[in-house]
Structure 1
Amino acid sequence: MPPVARFLRHARSAFGWIALAASVAVAGPLLAVDHVAIRRAEEAEETRLSGRVVVEAVDKSLLFQTADGGLYAITAEQVVHRDSDPQPFEPVSADDLGKQLLATLPAGFDVHRTRNYVFAYNSNKAYVQWVGALFERLHRGFHTFWQGKGIKLSEPEFPLCVLVFADDESYSSYVKQHYGEAASKLAAFYALSTNYVTLYDLTGVGALRREGSRRGNSGQINEMLSHPSASQNVATVVHEAFHQLQFNCGLSQRYADVPLWVAEGLAMYFETPDLKSAQGWRTIGAVHHGRLRDFRGYLPNRPEASLKSLVVDDKRFRDARGAIAAYGEAWAMNHFLMQRHTKEYAAYLKVVAAKPPAVVQTPEDRLKEFTAAFGELEALDAEFLKHVQALR
């Protein structure tokens, strides 16, 4: 594994320093490129990174960004050397990112470009073209939707990158090595650290290419869409693609303390599949019957303080025993706020978008922000439950 990839494998867990730091300094616009040499305790080799410091904590730990958009959490103890030069920081171009990907990915990958994305793939070409059309449809819908809500988005600073593997076996092997066991069990996922969406060919025909064939066509993709599992798989792909847009177009900042009921609820609001469409997805905000069913199953035993527990912290999402109910309630709350409190939710999302990276809020702060936007919980919760009961 290359040194940078090896360090990245541990980057997510290294973010423990964020919650422990008493305060952080968020870097402003940089006119120079920073260079940092780092070494983990168990590694003999140094890893050298060039880019910019996004956050420097009081203990000199860093949130460091490279030209391809990658974010690295670096503890003070891991820093071997730091310096800078007068060259301005410039994000990598889409062409150069494609070359960079081919140099680091396993043999057999190609690059496919669309208007807004760079795809590196070893799957069947027809499949990556289908995924490209799906992502571009989401991209257009994302911008049109938020423009209609009065939320000003920004253009991504870095190229939007998607890795498409031929089959779940090669996907799982790569993801385990770079991101860990949990991520490898998903049909797709967006990594805050690399800024990439990673997925695999859901049709199964991508494996043919590994055997020397480039067969595969729209008929096989349509066959995949007719499978009972297709709905959830397409939803997962759209869900993760939404997160990439969310964190690259100004709706949220990466590694900011974005409440999970917002981040996950919005992704589910966008993900609802439409298998009658050639791309498997078409409509933003349709009733997500799977999530509605999950939430209604939770209602008979729903505690009075359920809404408060949803908004003040993210514990319910991280508890396997209650995660399904938390996701269901997050989707339902987003559907309710989008339909019944559109202006208030848009204003609240602007507050969320302004949150800087690496600053953790207290439960009291989260609750204060929420009630400032939507009023007292008891009245809102009663209105929310009536909304859910009327959904079909």
Structure 2
Amino acid sequence: MEVKSHARLSMWKMSCPRRRRRFDLGDTHRIRDSVIASVSRLPYQALPSIRYLAVAVLVLWSVGPQLSPPLLADDSVPGVEVGEEAVGNVAVRTVQIEFKQGEASVSTVGEVQREYADGSLLLLTPDGQLWTLLHDEIQSIHDIDEPMQAATSKEIYEQFKEQLPPGFSVHKTRHYVMVYNTSPAYVQWAGELFEGQYSRFYNYWKSHGIKLDEPRFPLVALVFSDKASYSRYATHEIGQSAESMIGYYNMKTNRMVSYDLTGVDGSVPNGRRVTRTQIVKQVLAQPQAERTVSTIVHEAVHQLAFNSGLQVRLAANPLWVCEGLAMFFETTDIGNTRGWGAIGKVNYHNYVMFGKYLPSRKPASLPELISDDSKFRDSATASQAYPESWALTYFLMMTRNKDFVAYMKSMQQLPPLGETSPRERIDLFKQHFGELGELDQDFLRYVTRLR
């Protein structure tokens, strides 16, 4: 069984066909980076110095009729021999397919995003989920002429509620399907937050020369009433790391998952209505109000970026770009009655964190951040990588915006499950922004003068 799990992991690699090799720990980290759902923060009760400790969310398994276990439970498992690897891109084709998931079979229409020499597939289904299927899991498959139609909000809810305990309802906005079992007022407020962010996000990129696509699928957000019920669900989906998160975006299922951060659902008598105004007051009255709202917005930005075409799901997107963008757009305005204001303000939480890092910052910090994602994986450096990612993104978007837009357009060309070497990352960055030494000086000069 372990061999099968590691063989599945080999399917995610992209290299020359008909080459046999050993799967090792280095592959584990590269794959983990390519499919990271979101590197989330610890609960805000944690010490400020570790509040941004990264927790990598490995989502190499699918959410279906039964929740499958993680495909890689232990990094210490020794390397095993694996067979032929991925052979690259094929034209997207529509298929009728039946495949095994645990003890059940799933029959659906889907689009083949990538095809591999051994018959394994990366499949996109009408609800927006991506499935990685081994050849021996595919029971039948044939091409069809009709294009795949995205599921409607109602269809997604009807399918999804079968996987949840009783008591969940649905709240629909223009772009979001919010499945919840908490106070309707909280979900209404969160929906308004998401829709406001949606408009600002699209308007920002339109005004800066990038035309985004409308999401092909309804944007799904699952909101639990409390931390305990959230943890039970999230632990099945992403493992024990869920205990240290207050929300995440799963790049594979394409869903946001969080819980009611106000606690208001359990603090009012049954049957008593809670108004939206009370919800906003409850949120903004908390000591960590700014961080609470920022976290909600942060994960929603990830979902928007990967559904608008700004970034490609499961591509080799540098984590400093993913997290830097989310932190740029997450900046809140507690003075605003909705809890969130204009885009482009200084993110003072990250500004302060970066200032604390500066005295010990090494000259190689910038190339290390750009060339690979190891600083996000290491608990000793994650609290440095996050604020530096925000600071670099803010600097480039405010002073080199045309170059940053061109850089993001090059990111849009990355294929799903592709790889880029550290050297390729550096070269692409320099192609748009020039030599790192001079840029680093300008970067530090600009950030230290911010107020």
TM-score with structure 2 length normalisation?
Answer: 0.79
Superposition pairs of residues 102-181 of structure 1, within 5 angstroms: 102-181=161-240
> Which residue of the partner structure matches residue 96 of structure 2?
34
Superposition deviation, residue 114 in structure 1: 0.7
Q: Tell which deviates more after alignment, 335-344 or 88-97.
A: 88-97
Backbone CA RMSD of aligned residues? 2.4
Q: Distance in 2 between matches of 1:368 and 1:231?
A: 37
Give the counterpart of 2:128 among 69, 73, 76. 69
> Which residue of the partner structure matches residue 310 of structure 2?
251
Find out whether 1:25 has 2:88 as its counterpart: yes
Q: Say which SS state the counterpart of residue 405 (structure 2) adopts.
A: helix
> Which residue of the partner structure matches residue 334 of structure 1?
393
Q: Distance in 1 between matches of 2:244 and 2:358?
A: 29
Residue pair 1:124, 1:214 contacting (<8 A) in 2 also: no
Residue pair 1:11, 1:72 contacting (<8 A) in 2 also: no
Q: Say which SS state the counterpart of residue 37 (structure 1) adopts.
A: strand
Amino acid at match of 1:161: V
Superposition deviation, residue 38 in structure 1: 3.1
Q: Distance in 1 between matches of 2:387 and 2:115?
A: 37
> Which residue of the partner structure matches residue 377 of structure 1?
436
> Which residue of the partner structure matches residue 424 of structure 2?
365
> Which residue of the partner structure matches residue 149 of structure 2?
90
Find out whether 1:48 has 2:106 as its counterpart: yes
Q: Distance in 1 between matches of 2:296 and 2:397?
A: 22
Superposition deviation, residue 223 in structure 1: 2.4
Q: Say which SS state the counterpart of residue 164 (structure 1) adopts.
A: strand
- Residue by residue over 1:194-252, the C-alpha shift from the partner in whole angstroms, topping out at 9 and shown as x without a partner, is 1011111111122368x743532222431221211221111111000000000000100
> Which residue of the partner structure matches residue 271 of structure 2?
213
Q: Say which SS state the counterpart of residue 64 (structure 2) adopts.
A: helix
Q: Which has the higher contact order (CA 8 A, sep 6+)?
A: 2
Q: Distance in 1 between matches of 2:401 and 2:304?
A: 20
Amino acid at match of 1:81: Q
Superposition deviation, residue 102 in structure 1: 2.6
Superposition deviation, residue 6 in structure 1: 3.5
Amino acid at match of 2:96: D
Give the counterpart of 2:408 among 349, 357, 366. 349
Superposition deviation, residue 22 in structure 1: 5.6
Distance 1:303 1:389, change over 3 A: same
Superposition deviation, residue 324 in structure 1: 0.8
Q: Tell which deviates more after alignment, 65-74 or 302-311.
A: 65-74
Find out whether 1:10 has 2:73 as its counterpart: no
Residue pair 2:280, 2:338 contacting (<8 A) in 1 also: no
Q: Distance in 1 between matches of 2:325 and 2:440?
A: 19
> Which residue of the partner structure matches residue 303 of structure 1?
362
Give structure 1 regions of 4+ aligned residues with deviation exceeding 4 angstroms: 11-14, 20-23
Residue pair 1:64, 1:72 contacting (<8 A) in 2 also: yes
- Residue by residue over 1:124-152, the C-alpha shift from the partner in whole angstroms, topping out at 9 and shown as x without a partner, is 01111000100000000000000011011
> Which residue of the partner structure matches residue 79 of structure 1?
137
Superposition deviation, residue 172 in structure 1: 1.2
- Residue by residue over 1:85-115, the C-alpha shift from the partner in whole angstroms, topping out at 9 and shown as x without a partner, is 5253221111211222233321111111111
Q: Say which SS state the counterpart of residue 88 (structure 2) adopts.
A: strand
Q: Say which SS state the counterpart of residue 118 (structure 1) adopts.
A: strand
Q: Distance in 1 between matches of 2:391 and 2:157?
A: 39
Q: Say which SS state the counterpart of residue 199 (structure 2) adopts.
A: helix
Superposition deviation, residue 3 in structure 1: 7.7
Q: Say which SS state the counterpart of residue 26 (structure 1) adopts.
A: coil
Residue pair 1:55, 1:62 contacting (<8 A) in 2 also: yes
Q: Say which SS state the counterpart of residue 304 (structure 1) adopts.
A: coil
Find out whether 1:388 has 2:447 as its counterpart: yes
Distance 1:11 1:108, change over 3 A: farther
Residue pair 1:117, 1:162 contacting (<8 A) in 2 also: yes
Distance 1:301 1:207, change over 3 A: same
Residue pair 2:183, 2:265 contacting (<8 A) in 1 also: yes
Superposition deviation, residue 166 in structure 1: 1.0
Amino acid at match of 1:182: S
Superposition deviation, residue 11 in structure 1: 6.6
Superposition deviation, residue 23 in structure 1: 4.6
Q: Say which SS state the counterpart of residue 248 (structure 2) adopts.
A: strand
Q: Distance in 2 between matches of 1:203 and 1:117?
A: 21
Q: Distance in 1 between matches of 2:73 and 2:148?
A: 27
Amino acid at match of 1:82: S
Residue pair 1:162, 1:197 contacting (<8 A) in 2 also: yes
Residue pair 1:242, 1:267 contacting (<8 A) in 2 also: yes
Amino acid at match of 1:38: K
> Which residue of the partner structure matches residue 228 of structure 1?
287
Residue pair 1:164, 1:199 contacting (<8 A) in 2 also: yes
Superposition deviation, residue 8 in structure 1: 5.2
Amino acid at match of 1:26: N
Length, aligned pairs only: 381
Q: Distance in 1 between matches of 2:130 and 2:336?
A: 36
Q: Distance in 2 between matches of 1:5 and 1:261?
A: 35
Residue pair 1:125, 1:214 contacting (<8 A) in 2 also: no
Q: Distance in 2 between matches of 1:338 and 1:3?
A: 36
Superposition pairs of residues 267-346 of structure 1, within 5 angstroms: 267-346=326-405
Residue pair 1:189, 1:199 contacting (<8 A) in 2 also: yes
Find out whether 1:185 has 2:247 as its counterpart: no
Q: Distance in 1 between matches of 2:416 and 2:333?
A: 35
